[in-house]
Amino acid sequence: MNTPLKKLAIIVPAYNESKNIIPFYKAVCNITDELTNYQWNLLFVNDGSTDDTWIKIKELAEKDHNVKGINLSRNFGKEIALTAGAEAIEDTEAVILMDADLQHPPSLIPKLIQQWESGYQIVATQRTAIEYSWLRELGSRAFYYLMRLMSDINLEAKTTDYRLLDKKVLNILKTFEEKTRFFRGLIDWMGFRKTYVNFSAPERNDGDSTFKLRDLTKLAINSLTSFSLMPLRITGYLGVFVLISTSLLMIYMILTQLFMNQLYTALAYFVVFNTFLFGIVLAAIGMLALYIGHIHTEVVRRPLYIIQEQVGFDGSESGAEQLND
């Protein structure tokens, strides 16, 4: 009696990756064809590309019934594209998340599966070497340091979205409802048995990264405010510090004026007090605005993404618009 094949899926978010789709597909197939104990599905999520990325995905889906595609109505961002893919995948034992630019080497897939088969429910990857600008490298180090310092998750440095998730992890991930999300953070927050596989990231197969410094900064801010209340606490600590400092300075000014004949004008007293007070008020307002912004995003309850078209599901192509919370 033949042992049934384990079903595995690969989710690939893609934004303007037209020249990388076919090379990526071939590279993955070269690996998966050798893993004969598994049945594979490859799901591309086109995140509102402006080139012909979606056309390439549709062509692959027409030729290979194991390829599926989701075309989002606009660019929602990588975190949401990963979410759309995760929610679309059903009946799978595990899922692998990876980028389409081949900086996540497909040759690593057997190692991820080996670790999963040995009992780990999350198999993440860490880059050991990659060419970054000094500014991006400095920002990356600062981000991971602050996340470990301020949040209740242990986010390892240089980890990537390239990871394998067991079906239990995937099913729980689908229940998360927040709209401002950091995919890696959500996965690490859940816990489970986790291990890491190191790799050296090669150069992009073609084109330049569409994930700019502005996007990284936005992701970092959203991540910090999503997983930690420490910024609010820091504002409170700063308020206490300013209050004490201002009080001591005012006492010093009063005592030196009374006993040392040091004269201070009323304007000096006003400037000292007002400068500190103005700074703490601005800091508090700015930090509260970030959290209020998150609350606004959650209560508006717009759909997280919109599927304009999809191929490869149930053997048919659907052009109807679909809303997913």
- Residue 324 is predicted with a pLDDT of 45
User: What residue segments make up the domains of the chain, in order of their start?
Assistant: 6-212+303-324, 230-300
**CATH code for the part of the protein at 6-212+303-324:** 3.90.550.10
Phi-psi region of 263 (alpha: psi -120 to 50; beta: other; left: phi over 0): beta
Q: What's the pLDDT tens digit per position in 190-241?
A: 888 888 888 876 665 555 555 555 655 655 666 565 655 566 666 666 666 7
Query: How far, in Å, CA of 58 to CA of 317, rounded?
Result: 9
Q: pLDDT grade, residue 11 (50/70/90)?
A: very high
The residue with greater pLDDT, 282 or 6, is 6
Q: pLDDT grade, residue 147 (50/70/90)?
A: low
